[in-house]
Amino acid sequence: MILTSLISSFVLIFLSELADKTQVLILGLSTRFENRMHVFAGVALAHVIMDVIGVVAGGLVSITLPPMLSKLFGIGFLRPKGRSFTASE
């Protein structure tokens, strides 16, 4: 069970973050600063803090909202992302 949630989380986040604006920003920071380990450490720290906030907020939502309402919010959150895949410009 733990391995399933770990693998699912990794795959979903990895694929959704691949080549997004954050990656472009990291690329720019890496070209600007010579010590790339400092850039990596700063990026990793920022991701850890944001992920902790997300996990804590998700945990609070899961214990305070009824399950059906949580599912509706989840669908509402994903809906704009789905539109970006189907929208033709």
Is 65 part of any domain? yes
Which tokens in the block code for residue 77? Answer: 């959150």
Is 9 part of any domain? no
**Whole-prediction pTM:** 0.66
Is 11 part of any domain? no
Which tokens in the block code for residue 56? Answer: 């804590």
How many domains does the chain divide into?
1
Is 26 part of any domain? yes
**For residue 52, what are the domain limits?**
16-86
- The span from the CA of 41 to the CA of 46, in Å, is 9
Other C-beta atoms closer than 10 Å to the C-beta of 2 total 6
Residue 27 binned pLDDT confidence (cut-offs 50, 70, 90): very high
Please report where in the chains the tokens 């997004």 appear, as a residue.
20
Mean pLDDT of the region 63-75: 83
Is 61 part of any domain? yes
What is the model's pLDDT at position 82? 57
